[in-house]
Amino acid sequence: MENYAGQPRPLTVTLDNSAPYVATRLHAKESLSDGTWLEVHLLSPSPQDEGLPGKMAVVTCRERTFAGLIQQIECDGFHPDKQLYFYRIIAVDPLTFLSHGRQRRLFQNQNSKGQISTLLNLHQLTAFVRFSLCGEGETRPCMCQMDESDSAMIRRIMAGQGWFCLRNPGNITQWTITDGLQHVPSAGEISARLITPFRDCRRVSSGVFSAESWSQEQHHSRTDRQTLTGSGTTQQTHYYDGQPAAARFACEAAAAAAHYYEAGSAVMTLCAGMRFRMSDHPAGEYNGEYYISDITHTFDCSESSGNPVYSNTFRCHQACTPFRLPPVSAPRYDGIQAATVVAREGDETCYDAQGRVKVRFHWESNEQDSGLSQAWLPVLSHSAGAGAGIQFLPRAGDAVVVQFLNGDPDKPVVTGALWHQNHARPFSGPLTGGIYSRSSPAGAGGDGNQLRFEDKRDEECLALAAQKDLQLTANNDWTSLIKGNIRCETEKNLTISSKENSHHQSDKQWQLKAAEGITQNSGKNLTLQADSTLSGDAKTITLSASQTLTLTAGGSKIELSASGITLQAPQIILKGNGKIALDSAVLTMAAQAKAQLSGALVEINGSAMTEVKAGAMVQISGALTKIN
């Protein structure tokens, strides 16, 4: 114990801001693509706290420090003579530390920096990561984290924007997400004598990279094509439904992977992202400026090794070759998801100009921010033309089914709907189907329009019901064929209007019946015609004509006009069972041949004067004739 506490050590480690512990061995990997990984062996005079996982470990190695969040701690043994515990600790960078969970989240209308910040904030890791970027990345309408760790999600976002992560040289416990190495300090000139065999490595890569980005909003795809010179192959890599810059980033990543250099040294200050210059290499073509993309450090100061030993091996690239992460595809998801349509409080519908709706997946927690947990999703239709198609948009509270285009969780689509306990199906019969809408707002069961199909044998029926108005429009002809009966009932008025001719035809009878009255009106002529009999029966029949009313049968005619009444017929018979009275200011009766008045008693009486006159002869005869 005295020896442990009293002697200065070249390799120490602090755990969660503790006093330094003696470390015996360090194995550290730093990578622009894979982050930081530390393995350190230490001695402890007492057992370590079981709450150390997730805390910061800082390793000091002479003039160099390494740091990481503790991911694993193991007790390798106990030395009874020295009363020391032997521990092995694994620590990683904050992004790698988030690789243990699996989450489902939606990001709506957030840029790439905002998405990463949201994930870091959920784990209270924002103090360990900063950004050094030219922009904030692409803003996407919808991005879905589907059964993906937060670490994988962040690295997928970074790869899509051409970003990567490295240790912040100015802060030992902070990492930087960046799009370039301009802020990383340079190691300056390093002599080739300090670098072990400098190997020039080349490998075959795809020669052509292309990416096709498709926009659901515009239904338009754009293809970007990049060519890698000197790859030695004509093979092509195509990213379907990739991001706009995927081809360029993939080509730059392939260029870095196709030509790199491997070397080693004992220069402890080297780190991932650092640049250095070499100008004294025997092969002049190797002189130039490089940056380190991957480096592995080994430091051994155990008693068995004698003096402390440090070495590193690294991979570097010419400074003119930009570093990029290769594009990372989202985990393919071919299943279906259940979700609930949502709207603003008090609204039953919420959709945009493209008919997209917002949903909440069943796996989203209610505590999540509404901007994070809701996204606009297109709705599948059986037909979607230019201003034409079939449109049925789900409403708030409806349970819907969501699938993903090409299995890409960033492209969700509502493909159907589900009934459930609180939303029973509208038709209960097993052979009944159709469409049943719901009135809005506050429509209850039975409030809505209906198109129903009854398919039970001998009871087949197609029913169409409108909750309020029913409008049927035909721009040309409308033809109906009914093999049975038609019955039309209306509780109010029935109006049939035609701008041209209207024909009503029946092979048998046609009846008009009204409880109060029937009115027929014609702007010009009105004709009633029957091949057999035309009958009219009423208590009172009134025929009125402003000019002439004519009744004609064969050669007989009765004509009523404003000037008089004319009766014309081969024979006119006036017969009264009781009395016939003719009353007029002037009464003229004339016959071209013979006029005859006969009766049991005939009386001719003039109150003033009665004149009987003939052009030739007047004959008055009778059994008894009385004059005066």
Q: What is the bridge-based pairing of β-strands 186-189 and 275-278?
A: parallel
> Cβ-count burial of 374 within 10 angstroms (0-12 exposed, 13-18 middle, 19+ buried)?
buried
Q: Residue 557: is its pLDDT beyond 70? A: yes
Using pLDDT thresholds of 50, 70 and 90, give the confidence band for residue 206. confident
Give the mean model confidence (pLDDT) for residues 402-414.
88
Q: Residue 466: is its pLDDT beyond 70? A: yes
What's residue 297's pLDDT? 96
Tokens of 389: 């198609």
Rounded to whole angstroms, the Cα distance separating 154 from 123 reads: 13
User: Who contacts 625 (Cβ-Cβ below 8 Å, separation ≥6)?
Assistant: none
Helix (H) or strand (E) holding 294: strand 288-300
Amino acid present at 610: T
The string of pLDDT tens digits covering residues 5-59 is 446 788 999 999 889 999 999 999 999 999 999 999 999 999 999 899 999 999 9
What's residue 12's pLDDT? 93
Using pLDDT thresholds of 50, 70 and 90, give the confidence band for residue 352. confident
What's residue 26's pLDDT? 96
User: What's the alpha-carbon Rg for the chain, to the nearest Å?
Assistant: 52
Q: Residue 460: is its pLDDT beyond 80? A: yes
Tokens of 172: 């030992």
What's residue 379's pLDDT? 92
Residue carrying the six token digits 């016959």: 591
User: Who contacts 146 (Cβ-Cβ below 8 Å, separation ≥6)?
Assistant: 104, 330, 331, 333, 404, 409
Q: Residue 333: is its pLDDT beyond 70? A: yes
Rounded to whole angstroms, the Cα distance separating 412 from 375 reads: 9
Residue carrying the six token digits 């009423």: 538
Rounded to whole angstroms, the Cα distance separating 39 from 479 reads: 85
Q: Residue 628: is its pLDDT beyond 80? A: no
**Cα 16 versus chain centre, distance:** 48
The DSSP secondary-structure symbol of 285 reads G
Give the mean model confidence (pLDDT) for residues 250-277.
93
Burial pattern 47-73, b for ≥16 Cβ within 10 A else e, equals: ebeeebeeebbbbbbeebebbbbbbeb
Tokens of 220: 């338009």
More confident call, 316 vs 428: 316
Residue carrying the six token digits 């050094």: 132
Using pLDDT thresholds of 50, 70 and 90, give the confidence band for residue 171. confident
**Cα 622 versus chain centre, distance:** 115
Rounded to whole angstroms, the Cα distance separating 171 from 176 reads: 10
Q: Residue 540: is its pLDDT beyond 50? A: yes
User: What is the number of residues in the chain?
Assistant: 628
CATH assignment at residue 352: 2.40.50.230
Rounded to whole angstroms, the Cα distance separating 303 from 308 reads: 9
For residues 405, 406, 410 and 414, what is the CA-based torsion angle, rounded to 10 degrees? 20
More confident call, 446 vs 482: 482
In a domain, 128, yes or no: no
Tokens of 507: 């092979």
Q: Where are the beta strands (DSSP E) in 301-437?
A: 309-318, 337-342, 357-361, 375-377, 384-385, 388-389, 399-404, 412-418, 432-436
Contact 429, 454 (CB under 8 A): yes
Give the mean model confidence (pLDDT) for residues 497-514.
86
Rounded to whole angstroms, the Cα distance separating 165 from 347 reads: 44
More confident call, 71 vs 348: 71
Question: Which domain, by its residues, includes 53?
Answer: 2-93
Q: Residue 79: is its pLDDT beyond 80? A: yes
The mean pLDDT value of the chain amounts to 85
Task: Output the DSSP codes for 132-147.
Answer: E-SS---EEEEEEEEE
Q: Residue 225: is its pLDDT beyond 80? A: no
Q: Where are the beta strands (DSSP E) in 327-390?
A: 337-342, 357-361, 375-377, 384-385, 388-389
In a domain, 81, yes or no: yes
More confident call, 5 vs 145: 145
In a domain, 397, yes or no: yes
Q: Residue 623: is its pLDDT beyond 90? A: no
The string of pLDDT tens digits covering residues 102-137 is 998 888 888 999 999 999 999 999 999 999 999 999
Q: Residue 402: is its pLDDT beyond 50? A: yes
Rounded to whole angstroms, the Cα distance separating 54 from 459 reads: 71
Residue carrying the six token digits 């780190």: 271
In a domain, 84, yes or no: yes
What's residue 105's pLDDT? 87
Domain boundary at 400, 418, 436, which?
418
What's residue 581's pLDDT? 76
Give the mean model confidence (pLDDT) for residues 360-372.
65
The DSSP secondary-structure symbol of 158 reads H
Using pLDDT thresholds of 50, 70 and 90, give the confidence band for residue 304. low
Domain boundary at 35, 70, 93, which?
93
In a domain, 409, yes or no: yes
Using pLDDT thresholds of 50, 70 and 90, give the confidence band for residue 355. confident
Rounded to whole angstroms, the Cα distance separating 104 from 99 reads: 14
In a domain, 510, yes or no: no
User: Who contacts 353 (Cβ-Cβ below 8 Å, separation ≥6)?
Assistant: none
In DSSP terms, 110 is beta-bridged to 140
What's residue 211's pLDDT? 80
Q: Residue 220: is its pLDDT beyond 50? A: yes
In a domain, 346, yes or no: yes
Rounded to whole angstroms, the Cα distance separating 175 from 116 reads: 13
How many structural domains comprise the chain?
2
Residue carrying the six token digits 């899509």: 160
In a domain, 389, yes or no: yes
Task: Output the DSSP codes for 204-239.
Answer: ---SEEEEEEEETTTTEEEEEEEE-TT-S---EEEE
CATH assignment at residue 61: 2.30.300.10
What's residue 60's pLDDT? 92
Q: Quick check: helix, strand or coil at residue 86?
A: strand
Residue 303 backbone dihedrals phi, psi, to 5 degrees: -65, -30
Q: Residue 565: is its pLDDT beyond 90? A: no
Task: Output the DSSP codes for 107-119.
Answer: EEEEEHHHHHHHH
Please, what is the Cα angle at 565 between 562 and 571, to 5 degrees?
160
Please, what is the Cα angle at 569 between 618 and 583, to 5 degrees?
60
More confident call, 596 vs 525: 525
Using pLDDT thresholds of 50, 70 and 90, give the confidence band for residue 168. confident
Using pLDDT thresholds of 50, 70 and 90, give the confidence band for residue 1. very low
Give the mean model confidence (pLDDT) for residues 254-261.
92
Q: Residue 286: is its pLDDT beyond 80? A: yes
Rounded to whole angstroms, the Cα distance separating 531 from 316 reads: 110
Domain boundary at 392, 418, 444, which?
418
Minimal CA–CA distance to 83: which of 147, 149, 4? 4
In percent, the amount of the chain with pLDDT more than 70 equals 89
